[in-house]
Amino acid sequence: MTTIDRRRFLRTTAAGSFGTVAATTLAAPAIAQSAPELKWRLTSSFPKSLDTIHGASDVFAKAVAEMTDNRFQIQVFAPGELVPALQAADAVTAGTVEMAHTASYYYWGKDPTFAFATAVPFGLNARMQNAWMYEGGGIDLMNAFYAKYNIFGLPGGNTGAQMGGWYRKEINSPADLKGLKMRIGGFGGAVLQKLGAVPQQIGGGDIYPALEKGTIDATEWVGPYDDEKLGFHKVAKYYYYPGWWEGQAMLHFFINKPKWETLPKTYQAVVKAAAQTANTIMLARYDAQNAAALRRLANAGAQLMPFSEPVLDACFKASNEVYDEISAKNADFKKVYEAMKAQRGDNYLWFQLAEYTSDTFMMIQQRKNAL
């Protein structure tokens, strides 16, 4: 096509389409029905001081607003403003709020099956959890279970692998766990109890004084970035790793199921995309900030300590016993456990080749100061 031909073509086409518009009556744009003005309330289980976790709700709400030209607005509330932190799921079930940002394993006491969506001892890492949830049927499997609670859930953030926590004395062998009073909840606590430890449930703000007074001997929290803010290194210098009960910890958006089902399809797609954004950004924030926090903690006297292989072996064995005991009496738990195990077996087969070898080589270069 020559330049003149192209100009003539553009002119004709433009005139043609203008003519069409002028000659016909346009139907009302579909956007008015598919994009109603909505205002939802989201209760977060996480205080604003945990900016990475609480921030995932803000990332989500902002993405939803931007993708709907502000027609769908989600207001984020801190714990206690509408409902207490650990009643977020109940509020969603009852429809008191449209949705929550919470950790599914907080509801382990209702049914231990809740734990798999967040973290379970010697479970998956963050990459594997995403693979299971998004591509391995995990989201559907969990939602078949959540339906009993009138909840529709979507992944909404991850801490990555957590640290094993702060200890006032060294843990060299499984025997050192006997009588250890440790602030740890849920599944991990049940496993440690088998090994003679005494798990304690203590709220975030009360941990430091308990550790300082010696009311407890140890506590776990998250990782360097969050732990630093609570100052545990000042009263318990041994900082162990890994937190085998949380090789990753995935957060969730819980949505009242009838509310989810009445959303227009376009808004459902927007919510799914915004939740995926929050899921990605939260882990990226931790990965971007943990190294600097780790350096500051080490400079302030934290002693980095890997759990010994005998300690990990004992914890792994005790974990498997707990899995089997619960599976024997809970069919939902058994079903999700079997699915997680299949994913775990396949992923650890694959990850030990390219991923592990490449990471190991690069970590050796890091220790040589070659990076």
**Residue 110 CB, nearest approach to Ca ion (Å):** 19
**Residue 244 CB, nearest approach to Ca ion (Å):** 11
Two structure tokens written together for 109: 């006491």
Tell me how far apart the alpha carbons of residues 230 and 314 are, in angstroms, rounded to a whole number.
Answer: 29
Q: Which of residues 222-251 bind Ca ion (CB under 5 A)?
A: 246
**Residue 165 CB, nearest approach to Ca ion (Å):** 8
Two structure tokens written together for 61: 């709400």
Q: Which lies closer to Ca ion via its Cβ, residue 152 or residue 225?
A: 225
Tell me how far apart the alpha carbons of residues 283 and 264 are, in angstroms, rounded to a whole number.
Answer: 29
Q: Which lies closer to Ca ion via its Cβ, residue 44 or residue 162?
A: 162
Q: Which helix (H) or strand (E) holds 155?
A: strand 151-158
Q: Which lies closer to Ca ion via its Cβ, residue 58 or residue 220?
A: 220
Q: Which lies closer to Ca ion via its Cβ, residue 61 or residue 182?
A: 182
x/- track of binding to Ca ion for residues 247-286 (CB under 5 A)? ----------------------------------------
x/- track of binding to Ca ion for residues 62-101 (CB under 5 A)? ----------------------------------------
Nearest to 223 by CA among 294, 163, 292: 163
Q: Which lies closer to Ca ion via its Cβ, residue 68 or residue 248?
A: 248
Q: How many residues bind Ca ion (CB under 5 A)?
A: 3
Two structure tokens written together for 364: 């050796």
Dihedral sign, Cα of residue 360, residue 364, residue 367, residue 371: negative
Beta-bridge partner residues of 76: 42
Distances (CA, A) of 330 to 61, 114, 327, 336: 36, 12, 5, 10
**Residue 221 CB, nearest approach to Ca ion (Å):** 6
The CA-based dihedral angle spanning residues 299, 300, 301, 305, taken in that order and rounded to the nearest 10 degrees: -70
48: left (phi over 0), alpha (psi -120 to 50) or beta: alpha
**Residue 225 CB, nearest approach to Ca ion (Å):** 13
Asked if 247 contacts 130 with a C-beta cutoff of 8 angstroms, the reply is: no
**Residue 183 CB, nearest approach to Ca ion (Å):** 10
Q: Which of residues 128-167 bind Ca ion (CB under 5 A)?
A: 162
Q: Which lies closer to Ca ion via its Cβ, residue 152 or residue 238?
A: 238
Dihedral sign, Cα of residue 110, residue 47, residue 131, residue 165: negative
Asked if 208 contacts 230 with a C-beta cutoff of 8 angstroms, the reply is: yes
x/- track of binding to Ca ion for residues 189-228 (CB under 5 A)? -------------------------------x--------
Tally of CB atoms within 10 A around 282: 25
**Residue 243 CB, nearest approach to Ca ion (Å):** 6
Q: Which lies closer to Ca ion via its Cβ, residue 158 or residue 256?
A: 158
Tell me how far apart the alpha carbons of residues 165 and 221 are, in angstroms, rounded to a whole number.
Answer: 6
Q: Which of residues 319-338 bind Ca ion (CB under 5 A)?
A: none
**Residue 290 CB, nearest approach to Ca ion (Å):** 14
List of residues contacting Ca ion (CB under 5 A): 162, 220, 246
